[in-house]
Amino acid sequence: MAALCQQRRALVEIPAPQPKIAARMRRSYLEILSARLAPSPLLRTRNTSTNTRRAHSLDLSITGVWSRGIEEQCEKMDEQHTPLSTQQLVQLIRSLISVEQQEPRILAADLKYLQEDLQLKKTNIYRSIPYSRFGSNRDAHCYRKAYPHLVSFKVSCQEWGQVLLRNKEWDAVLEHTLMAWRYTSEMPQWDTANHNALREQCYSILASHSLTALQHYQPEPSRGRELLRRLKMAQLHSQSITPCVQELQRILGCADDSSMDTK
C-alpha cells in the first residue's frame, strides 16, 4: 500500500516562460505612422551625386517635411501607450494639412522636378500602348489601355500650374506652360477624333494658366521678346495659345510706348 501512495512524478517538466522577442512584437499605430512620415533620405541627398537616382514620380505627399515638434509629440504618446485624445487628434490633423500645403511650394521651386514628372507621365503613356498588334496601335483598344495615364498627365499639368499660380510665380508659370506644351504635343495621335480631346484639354488648361500669369506679370523687354517667340512656336501645335500671344504683344507694346516716353 505504501508503494501505491507514492506521488507520481511528472513525465515532462514545464519550462519557464521565455522572454518576448523584440522583433516579433507588434508595433503600435503611432510607430507605424511616424515611420511612414519620417523624413525621406531623398530630400537630404538632393544636392549630392545620388540626385540622379531620385524617385521618378512626384507625389504631393507630406514626406520630407515632417516637423520636429510633431515627432517629439508622437514619441511621448508612444512611450505612454495611451490613445489619442480629441484635442491631440485635431492638432495632428491640422499639422498634416499645413505640411501638405507646404510640400508643393518646395517642389515647385525648381522646374526640373516638374519636367521629370511630365517626362515620366509621357513615358507611361507610351509604355501602356500594346505594339504587338496586327492592326493599328492607335485604335480604341490601345486608347483604353493608355487612358489612365493620359488622365494622369492632364492632372499633372493642371495641378502644378495651379500651385505656381497660388505661389504667384508668374514667370515660372510661363516656363511650365511652354515646357508642358511641348510634352503635350508629343502625346500620341489617335485614330478616333474624340480620343484626342484630352490633348486639347491640356492645351486649354496650359493656355489659361499662361493668360492668368500675363495679366499679373509684365516681363522685361528682352524676356518678353523671348517668350513671344516661344509662344508663337507653340501656336503651331494649337491655336489655344493665341490669346496669350495677343496679351503679350499688348504688354510689349505698352512697354515700348513707356520707354519712348521716358526718352
Which sign does the torsion angle of CA 42, 44, 46, 49 carry? negative
In eight-state DSSP terms, residue 54 is -
Which sign does the torsion angle of CA 149, 155, 158, 161 carry? negative
Question: Residue 88 has what pLDDT?
Answer: 59
Phi then psi for residue 13, to 5 deg, are: -80, 135
DSSP string, 132-162: --SS-TTSHHHHHHHHHHHHHHHHHHHHHHH
The pTM is what?
A: 0.59
The pLDDT confidence band at residue 130, using thresholds 50, 70 and 90, is confident
Which sign does the torsion angle of CA 209, 214, 219, 223 carry? positive
pLDDT digits (tens, 9 = 90+) for 29-55: 556 556 555 554 444 444 444 444 443
Q: Which of 235, 172, 228, 187 is nearest to 207 (CA)?
A: 235
In eight-state DSSP terms, residue 219 is -
Task: Report helix, strand or coil for 231.
Answer: helix
Question: Residue 240 has what pLDDT?
Answer: 95
Residue 218 has pLDDT above 80, yes or no: yes
What number of other Cβ atoms are within 10 A of residue 169's Cβ? 19
